[in-house]
Every structure is written in structure tokens, then in C-alpha cells.
Structure 1
Amino acid sequence: MASLSFSDLTFHWPDGTVLFDGLDAVVGTCQIGLVGSNGAGKSTLLRLITGELTPLRGSITVPGHLGHLRQDLGMRTGQRVDTVLGIADLRAALHRIERGTGEPDDFDTIGTHWQVEDEAVALLGKLGLDYVAGSAADLDRTLDTLSGGETVLLGLVAELLREPDVLLLDEPTNNLDVAARARLYEVIRQFSGTVIVVSHDRELLDLMDGIAELRAGEIRSFGGNFTEYERIVEQEQAAARAAVRDARGDVRKQARELVDARTKLDRRARFAQKMQDNKRVPKIVAGLRKNAAEVSAGKLRNSHIEKLDSARDTLDHAEELVRADRQIRIDLPGTRLYPGQDVIELRAAELANGPVVDLRVSGPERIALTGRNGAGKTTLLRRIVAEPPMVAWRLLPQRLDVFDEERTVFQNVAEAAPHASAEQIRGQLARFLFRGADADIPASALSGGERLRAALATLLLAEPAPKLLMLDEPTNNLDLPSLAHLTQALAGFEGALIVVSHDARFLDDIGVTRTLELTPEGLVE
């Protein structure tokens, strides 16, 4: 089978920003993890592959049929499951034939797909969605009855039903519980075509055959999984940092030697002038000596200047090899809670999907809220804020709908923090990587990773500062460096945390003290 390839791929945004300029790369028939910082162009590259965006120059060769699981899925809450799966017309034709009201066109529509309902239900079951569509009748359900994780899996089933040769997956494990992730991993393992995965899920990236790093408009390929990629990059960075230290030392050395040389030359020149002034040597001899000294001094001075310039060039090259990735730097407010201080008190609270829960939170507890997709974790968070909690709180929802879409990032934060000056707000936004004109982008124009940063900024910079943070899948769409900084910030937060996440490593890193599983019977410690 031919390989997915890019030839002279060039793409600029309408404002003139260059994303790719003459990109050449080949991806074989294997499973590749595409990594890079937020804004590097990972999702844009996938959209170029699908033809959703058109390059300014160059070409992309895609072998066979293409499938694409988008990060935002592009689904409407009122859509039916069979519409998302792309089988609504097939089912309608099939049902008309079964009722005896079919037309000749219905037979043409169905073709050989007489078992389409059974195939769809079986594939949904393979991904653990048998409780979404355990029978053909359940294919009539609408998306507003599904959780975020169920919707992601449904989108993957829709792509697999089209039997693609190349499968593009943009953050496929967002919102998935542990069991669902395991099933998705197995489906990807069994896929026989080319897979390109954009993800911050380290476990998923460790299943890949190779890693492709997108950086500064270029793709660099690494053999092995993500752990091997990290090892190689860290070794290279250690060598690069050592080279910078050596180069800086050489620059200092050459600068000192140039100063010493100039000092000696100046001393010689003063001595020669003194000798001439005292007429200790004939004038013609003094002139010859002076000319010779100037030539010698010029050569010596030029030699030291060249050495210093060379040392500086070496330092510049060494510094270029040291990565200075843009990363979120969050200073969470000092909102300390004391042991025993009441935060939440829920008694016999009945959730819309059935469970009745009791929940008491006191002091700076760190609670991981777990449960299968569709168990009602998001519903429970909404129930908590409906009471409301006994302290100042902020909720980061899964859909990140915390701001006015038509307002800029700056305007959203300014509304949430009315007593902060414009300079203070812009200074804080810079820590979330919204620097200069980036802070004036409308929320509706933000990418997935940018939306999360904007939502975090809007919540965490709001007044009053939160003593309780409730985060619903906060690691979705974060690049790995930003994930590390979010982890560090939350690890130092002195208030209470309730975090819905299926990322076990993330939960460990932020120091979870209690884990509560939401079941049909309620919360289980």
C-alpha cells in the first residue's frame, strides 16, 4: 500500500502567519503519534489532509479511503445516533422494504448492506456502547442523551463503519473513562491501515509504532513509542544545554582575551609615544617601529575579534538547539482552606439519571470523581453548584462554555475581574500564553487548546478567588508541557479540588486524597 505523503506543502493563515512552508514528509502504513505544542499546527495538518483546508502550494497524497475523528466532532445535540453513524438513509430504506412499502430506489440505497443495523450495534458494543445502542431501536436516540465520552466513541464508530484505509484521530480519548480507553486502545491495535493520532494521552502514545514531532513547521520522525521519544529528546536537550554552557564560557574567555590584548596594545603604544617624545630613538626609526607596531596590533586585534565573533556564533547555534517551548505558567491565588472548614454538604441529593448521593467535603480535600461514561459525573457537579457550596467556587465544564463567544479573551476576563486594571489582566493573560494581540481574539475563533487556556484564565482570575475548584476533564486538549504546568499549579493549590478525570497519572500527580466512584447506587468511597 502506498504511503501518506506531503510534497512542498505550504499553508498560510489569512493574516499572513506562516504555518508550513515547503513541508516534505512521508508516513508509512503504521501507527504514528503526532505531537507538538498547542499552536504548532497538528489539527490544522489533519484538516489539510482531509481537504477541509486548501494549501497555498504543494500536494498531499492519501492512499485509499480516509477517516477523520475531529476534536470538536461537529455534532449537534439533537442529532440521532443513526444520523451520526451515517446510516439513517439506509435504515429508512430497510424499514420501508420490511413494511412492504419499499420503492426500487430503496433497494439501490441498501445495496449489500442488509445487516447494517446489526453491524452498527455490534461495533458499538465492541467499544462498550451496548448501553447506548443495545438494539436497533436504540439507534433512534439523540446525542443529548449521551455523555461526552459516549459521543466521542460514537464518532469513532461512525468513522470505522466507513472502512477507511487511513484513520486520523484528533484527541480520541478525551472524556473517556478507563474502561472505554482500554477498548479504544484495542480497536486501534486491531486497525490494519495507517493511523495518525494527535493526543496528550501518554498511554495511547506509548502504543504507537513511531512518533512524528511537528515543530516550527517541520516534521521530525522518531522510531519507537512516546517514552522512547521523550528519552531521545531529553538526551539531546541535556547535550544542547551543556553545549550552551561551554559556548558561553568560551564567549567570556574570548571577550577577556580581547580586552587583555587591547590593554597590552594600548600600553605598548603609550610606551612608544613616550620614547619618541623623549627622542631616545631617531625619528625615522620611531616611525618605522610605529608602522610595524600598528600592523602587528591590527592583526592581533582582528584575530581576537574573529575569535570572539566565532564564539558568539557558536553560542547562537547552541541556543537554537535548546527548546524554549511556550508553556502555561499559572499562579493560583492563595485561597487556603483550613482542616474541618465546611465546603459542601449534600444529603440525599437525587440526580436526574437516577442515583441518590450524599457528599460532604471539608477543608482542602482533593477528590477524584470517577465512574463509567454516562454515570452522571457532570450531572453531579451541576447538582453541587445548584446548592451552592459554602465557599467561593469555580466550575470548569467539559464543554468549556464559560465565556461570551463574541467577546475577546481580554473582555471575558475583564468582566469576571471588574476591579483589576487592564495592565494587570494583560499581565496575567500572558501567563496563559495570550500575549499582545492574542488576548484580543474572539472566543469563537479559538482552537481547542486555546479555549481551555481561555476558560482557565476566565475562572482563575475572576473575583473573588476560588476556594473550591471543580474541574470536568481539565486535561482535554492540553499539550504535554502545558499539562505539566497545570499539574504543578493544582498541586500547589491550597483550596479544595473535585476533579473528574480518567487520567490516572494526572490524578496521582495532583495528590488526590479521596477517590469517589459514581454508581447507580450512589457514591462509593
Structure 2
Amino acid sequence: MTKHPTAAPVLCTALSFAWPDGTPVLDDLSWTADTGRTGLIGRNGSGKSTLLRLIAGRLAPASGTVQVAGTPGYLPQDLTLHPTTPVDEILGIAGARAALHAIEAGDTDARHLTTLGDRWDVEERTRATLARLSLRHIGLDRTVGEVSGGEAVLLRLAALLLARPAVLLLDEPTNNLDRHARELLHQALADHRGTAIIVTHDRELLDRVDHVAELRDHTLRTYGGNLTAYEEALAAEQEAARRAHTTALADVARQRRDLTAARTRQARSARYGRQMYADNRIDKAGAQTAKRAAQVSRGKQQAVHDHRLAEAADRLHTAEDRLREDDTLRIDLPGTAVPPHRTVLTCDHARLSTGRHLRGLHIHGPERIALTGANGSGKTTLLRTLAGQLPPLEGRVTLHVPLRYLPQDLALLDTTQSVLGAVARLNPHATTHQIRARLARFLFKGTRADQRISTLSGGERFRATLAALLLADPAPQLLLLDEPTNSLDLASVTHLAQALADYRGALIVASHDQPFLQQLGITRRLDLDTSDGT
């Protein structure tokens, strides 16, 4: 890893990386980041988070170099903060604050002056930054355990903004943020004057970037403009690719017809020559001369037609390479359909551990309920209570159909096992053939089912976990999903929405992703910011 000033904010040259088990992630990738805000997109498992960690210096490449303008500020996707960590330490100002307070108390030790440097306004500047992110209510002496998960993410972003790095690296920064917090992050990035590279599937955030860089097949290509401009450019490219493919197919067919016709003419001419000799219309010497001339002509024509056919085949292969044939997630479970009149779940005067009362939450038939609310409003607690993982303090929750719950942390699979092994452990009655067939529908085909869970991206782990839950017998007629799009790429979000649209059971989805919810055909919304759960 090379870290020094460079003409470009980030320059990657011939970058390669593989996991310890040999699984390749990046291969000979070269890319120059543009100034401004770049949205980094790509299929799950394509290497987006790995690339960000390489740029941040958290991973070392197997080969190649990374050059960065200054020290980048990095916000990882799996942000883990100890609950006893003070807020000022998270913000990176604990040492400067301690030095400032010591000096103000009359301690003139030179070490305090060295630590503080020119940051005499450290507290004022910190409070101003927190105010921009609606965090002015959080005292600098509080601990992380006293703030919500979304506030912790914003605090880490505030720390990066305070450090003023030339390059910001953000990995799915809106995953755990509610609507208001997302808008604050969007605005903070809009105000940022440096370079930002953002791995995200948040369509609203991607429509605010200056460039979109797509990582696909170990190649990173940058498009000017936001997500909408990228999708328009891609649609135009694919339309041109489809036309080129159609033309190339027709050309190959024409060249094959021409070759067949030439061979037919040559065969007819040879038969005519033999007939002429048989009828004594030419002598033996003349027949041999004609035969040699025909062979020379036939060889030349064969070479010409073979060359034309090879060129046409090359154009067809080039056109096929430009066409995208992305696999689609499929959920087509038998036995999941719920009749409209059937009672699925009832809550009778249930009081949750958060204190919220569910006086009369009843679910009937294949309802699709969107569970919304700010961070800390109790969405996960409600889902865990409905799933039977948390008993209500009062009242009763009664389930009338088979249920499966997909938690936000995806902690159901053994990370030391392969995808096949981890799913088999949760479904001991399923055969290996059944598991492989199910995993193929979730895009783990062939040897990909043998990949270790620990090497999967967040989106791949989501698909593996969902496959494990849905393979269960009996098939679930009620699905509870907690922020299911957090780790999914744009294509996978679309595929999941399409797959769930075909699911015939009842569905409760906690999500801040409004475009995703709109695709699900939601029949009812339960907003925990305004509803008492009745």
C-alpha cells in the first residue's frame, strides 16, 4: 500500500486480492477515482467492500498499488463500538479536550500544548459539527451505550468530518439510519468539499452523487452523473448491444449460408467435370487440369468463406460479452399460500419490553405489513416478540401458521462452514440434492455453494440465510424481515422485491427503504412513531 499525495484522489494500479482460502476477489484492477462524490456499485460479492478496505489500508493487496491523497477517513459497514467508549473518544478529540481542560485549569505542561496544537476551538467546532447532524443533544462525556445505533453511525461520520480527510470512504453508511438520519447524512455529503467514495444501494443517496463507478467482472468503470444518468446510459448501451447482437447473429447465419452455397456449387462443378470425362467430351489430361483448377479455386473460396465466418463469429462473441445476463433470485415455495380469511397472528393486550402496548394487532390472510419508525422506536423488539424470541411483559402473542424470522444481524449461520454445510445444519431432514437445488435458486450454483460463509459479502450472507430459513419444513406462511435490503446491491434489492411479490404467505417487513417497500405491494403500514400497535 502506498499513501502519498497524488494527482488523483485515489489511484489503483494492477490491484489483486484473494481470501486466504484462495477465493479471488479482485484481479489486476486499475482505476482512478474522480474528484467529488462517487457511488460505488456492483453485485454482491464483486469486491466493493474489499476495494474500500484496500484503499483505506485495512487490507494489503496481493499485488498492485494504491495511492491516496493523504490519509482517508473510513466508515466500515460493520461498525462495532464498545458501549463504554466515551463520545469524545469516538469523535477523536478526547486527547485534545483533556489537554484543553488541563491548560484552562492552569496546568502549563508542554505536553498539553503539543497535544492541543492549534485546536483551541476543538469543542466549539465539534458541537457545530454535531449540530449539523442533529446530534447537539449528545454530550461529549456520554458513552456509546447511551446512544442509538443510528446515532453511533452519525457520530462516526462526525469524527471523519472533524478530521477533514481529503478522501472519505463510506461503506453502506445509511444501513442503520432512519429517514431523518438519512437526510442528515445526505446533506452532510452534499456539503463535503473533498472526495467521497460511497458503497451504497440507497437509491436516494446515489441520485445525489457526481459519478457512479460500477465494479463488474474485476473491472471498475466510471459513469458521469448520478444513478439516474447511469441507468439511462446503461439502458442505451444495452439497447445498442442487443442490436449489435442481432446483427452479429444474422451475419453469422448469412456467412454459414454462403459457405454452404459455395460448397454446393463446388460439388456440382466437380460432378459436372466427372460427367464430362465419362461422356468423352474431354480427355484425361483436360479432366486432370480442370480438377486441379477446381481444387485451387475451391481452396481459395473455402479460405475466404472461413475467414468471413470467423470474423462474424468474433463479432458475435464481442456482442455477447456486452450483453448482461444477470441471474435472478427466485422464491417459489409450495405450501406458503394463506387464504384471505385465515388468521395468521394475534396479539391480545400484549405489552413489549419497550413498554409499548399491542392491544389488538391481528393479521389475516396474505397481508403485507410495512413496519416503519425512527431508530429506537422498537421495530426489532416487536419483530422478535412476534417471532417468540422475546416474551411479552403482559398479554399474549399467538401464532397460527409456520413462521420464519430473518434478523438484521444475519447471525444464524456458522461462519466456519461452507454455505452448503451451514444451511444443512439448520435443515437436517433435507437431502444434499434438495439443499443444492434450493441454493441454486438463491444464486449459489455449483462450487459457489461450497464457499465458506466467512468469505461471503453481506448480500451473499443474506441470500444464504434466507435460503436456510425458507428450506424449512413446513414452509413458512409468515415471514418477518428486519431491514432485509441493508446489505443487498441494487440488482439484488430489485430481485428480492420481485421474489417477495410472488410469495403467497403473510409478510411483515421493517425497513427504511421506501422504494423497496413500494415494490412489495404493501397492504398496511404500522408506523411505530405514531401508532400504539392497535
- Give the TM-score normalised by the residue count of structure 2: 0.89
Alignment of 1:318 onto 2:319: yes
Contact 1:146–1:374 (Cα < 8 Å) also in 2:
no
Alignment of 1:459 onto 2:469: yes
Of 1, 12, 35, 1:29 maps to 35
Residue 388 of structure 1 and its aligned partner are, at CA, apart by 5.2
Provide the secondary structure at the position in 1 that maps to 2:168: strand
2:74 aligned residue: 68
Of 358, 368, 371, 1:369 maps to 371
Gaps of 5+ in 2: 389-396
The farther-off stretch of 86-95 and 145-154 is 86-95
Within 2, Cα distance between the matches of 1:419 and 1:507?
Answer: 34
Alignment of 1:389 onto 2:399: yes
Summarize the Cα distance change of 1:443–1:223 in structure 2 as closer, same or farther, 3 Å threshold. same
Residue 338 of structure 1 and its aligned partner are, at CA, apart by 0.9
Residue 451 of structure 1 and its aligned partner are, at CA, apart by 1.6
1:435 aligned residue: 445
Within 2, Cα distance between the matches of 1:313 and 1:319?
Answer: 10
Provide the secondary structure at the position in 2 that maps to 1:337: coil
Provide the secondary structure at the position in 2 that maps to 1:158: helix
Provide the secondary structure at the position in 1 that maps to 2:475: coil
Within 1, Cα distance between the matches of 2:144 and 2:123?
Answer: 14
The farther-off stretch of 237-246 and 428-437 is 428-437
2:482 aligned residue: 472
Within 2, Cα distance between the matches of 1:163 and 1:423?
Answer: 54
The farther-off stretch of 373-382 and 47-56 is 47-56
Provide the secondary structure at the position in 1 that maps to 2:533: strand
Alignment of 1:485 onto 2:495: yes
Contact 1:209–1:225 (Cα < 8 Å) also in 2:
yes
Provide the secondary structure at the position in 1 that maps to 2:447: helix
Of 499, 506, 513, 2:516 maps to 506
Residue 110 of structure 1 and its aligned partner are, at CA, apart by 4.8
Contact 1:337–1:494 (Cα < 8 Å) also in 2:
yes
Contact 1:356–1:521 (Cα < 8 Å) also in 2:
no
Contact 2:100–2:120 (Cα < 8 Å) also in 1:
yes
Provide the secondary structure at the position in 2 that maps to 1:522: coil
Alignment of 1:405 onto 2:415: yes
Summarize the Cα distance change of 1:226–1:10 in structure 2 as closer, same or farther, 3 Å threshold. same
Task: String of CA shifts for 1:441-496, please: whole Å, max 9, x gaps.
Answer: 33233222222122111112222211011111111121111111101001111111
2:265 aligned residue: 264
Contact 1:413–1:462 (Cα < 8 Å) also in 2:
no
1:360 aligned residue: 362
Residue 16 of structure 1 and its aligned partner are, at CA, apart by 5.0
Provide the secondary structure at the position in 2 that maps to 1:150: helix
Contact 2:9–2:33 (Cα < 8 Å) also in 1:
yes
2:8 aligned residue: 3
Task: String of CA shifts for 1:137-182, please: whole Å, max 9, x gaps.
Answer: 5x2241xx55443332233223223222211111111122211111
Of 48, 57, 73, 2:54 maps to 48
Summarize the Cα distance change of 1:107–1:290 in structure 2 as closer, same or farther, 3 Å threshold. closer
Task: String of CA shifts for 1:67-120, please: whole Å, max 9, x gaps.
Answer: 111111143455454443334555666777889999875665455556656654
Provide the secondary structure at the position in 2 that maps to 1:8: strand
Residue 17 of structure 1 and its aligned partner are, at CA, apart by 5.2
Summarize the Cα distance change of 1:152–1:340 in structure 2 as closer, same or farther, 3 Å threshold. farther
Provide the secondary structure at the position in 1 that maps to 2:77: coil
Contact 2:84–2:144 (Cα < 8 Å) also in 1:
no
Within 2, Cα distance between the matches of 1:405 and 1:422?
Answer: 19
Provide the secondary structure at the position in 1 that maps to 2:318: helix
Within 1, Cα distance between the matches of 2:244 and 2:100?
Answer: 69
Summarize the Cα distance change of 1:332–1:126 in structure 2 as closer, same or farther, 3 Å threshold. farther
The one-letter code matched in structure 2 to 1:497 is L
Residue 302 of structure 1 and its aligned partner are, at CA, apart by 2.5
Summarize the Cα distance change of 1:112–1:507 in structure 2 as closer, same or farther, 3 Å threshold. same
Alignment of 1:233 onto 2:234: yes
Contact 2:329–2:499 (Cα < 8 Å) also in 1:
no
How do 1:125-524 residues align onto structure 2 when only pairs under 5 Å count? 125-129=131-135, 133=138, 135-137=139-141, 139-142=142-145, 146-358=147-359, 359-386=361-388, 387=397, 389-519=399-529, 522-523=532-533
Task: String of CA shifts for 1:221-269, please: whole Å, max 9, x gaps.
Answer: 2111110011001101011011111111111222122222222222222
Within 2, Cα distance between the matches of 1:281 and 1:313?
Answer: 45
- Count of residue pairs brought into register by the alignment: 519
Contact 2:168–2:196 (Cα < 8 Å) also in 1:
yes
Of 64, 68, 86, 2:92 maps to 86
The farther-off stretch of 108-117 and 325-334 is 108-117
Residue 20 of structure 1 and its aligned partner are, at CA, apart by 4.2
Provide the secondary structure at the position in 1 that maps to 2:399: coil
Within 1, Cα distance between the matches of 2:11 and 2:455?
Answer: 27
Within 2, Cα distance between the matches of 1:98 and 1:160?
Answer: 26
The one-letter code matched in structure 2 to 1:10 is L
2:391 aligned residue: none
Contact 2:83–2:144 (Cα < 8 Å) also in 1:
no
Contact 1:9–1:20 (Cα < 8 Å) also in 2:
no
Residue 343 of structure 1 and its aligned partner are, at CA, apart by 1.4
The one-letter code matched in structure 1 to 2:54 is L
Summarize the Cα distance change of 1:89–1:438 in structure 2 as closer, same or farther, 3 Å threshold. farther
The one-letter code matched in structure 2 to 1:462 is A
Residue 379 of structure 1 and its aligned partner are, at CA, apart by 0.7
Contact 1:334–1:493 (Cα < 8 Å) also in 2:
no
Residue 52 of structure 1 and its aligned partner are, at CA, apart by 1.3
The farther-off stretch of 365-374 and 450-459 is 450-459
- Give the TM-score normalised by the residue count of structure 1: 0.91
Alignment of 1:39 onto 2:45: yes
Within 1, Cα distance between the matches of 2:124 and 2:353?
Answer: 31
Summarize the Cα distance change of 1:318–1:188 in structure 2 as closer, same or farther, 3 Å threshold. same
The one-letter code matched in structure 2 to 1:52 is R
Provide the secondary structure at the position in 1 that maps to 2:220: strand
The farther-off stretch of 397-406 and 513-522 is 513-522
Contact 1:393–1:466 (Cα < 8 Å) also in 2:
yes
Residue 198 of structure 1 and its aligned partner are, at CA, apart by 0.8
2:392 aligned residue: none
The farther-off stretch of 484-493 and 45-54 is 45-54
Contact 2:56–2:74 (Cα < 8 Å) also in 1:
yes
Residue 318 of structure 1 and its aligned partner are, at CA, apart by 0.9
The one-letter code matched in structure 1 to 2:448 is D
The one-letter code matched in structure 2 to 1:372 is A
Contact 2:213–2:220 (Cα < 8 Å) also in 1:
yes
Summarize the Cα distance change of 1:407–1:502 in structure 2 as closer, same or farther, 3 Å threshold. same
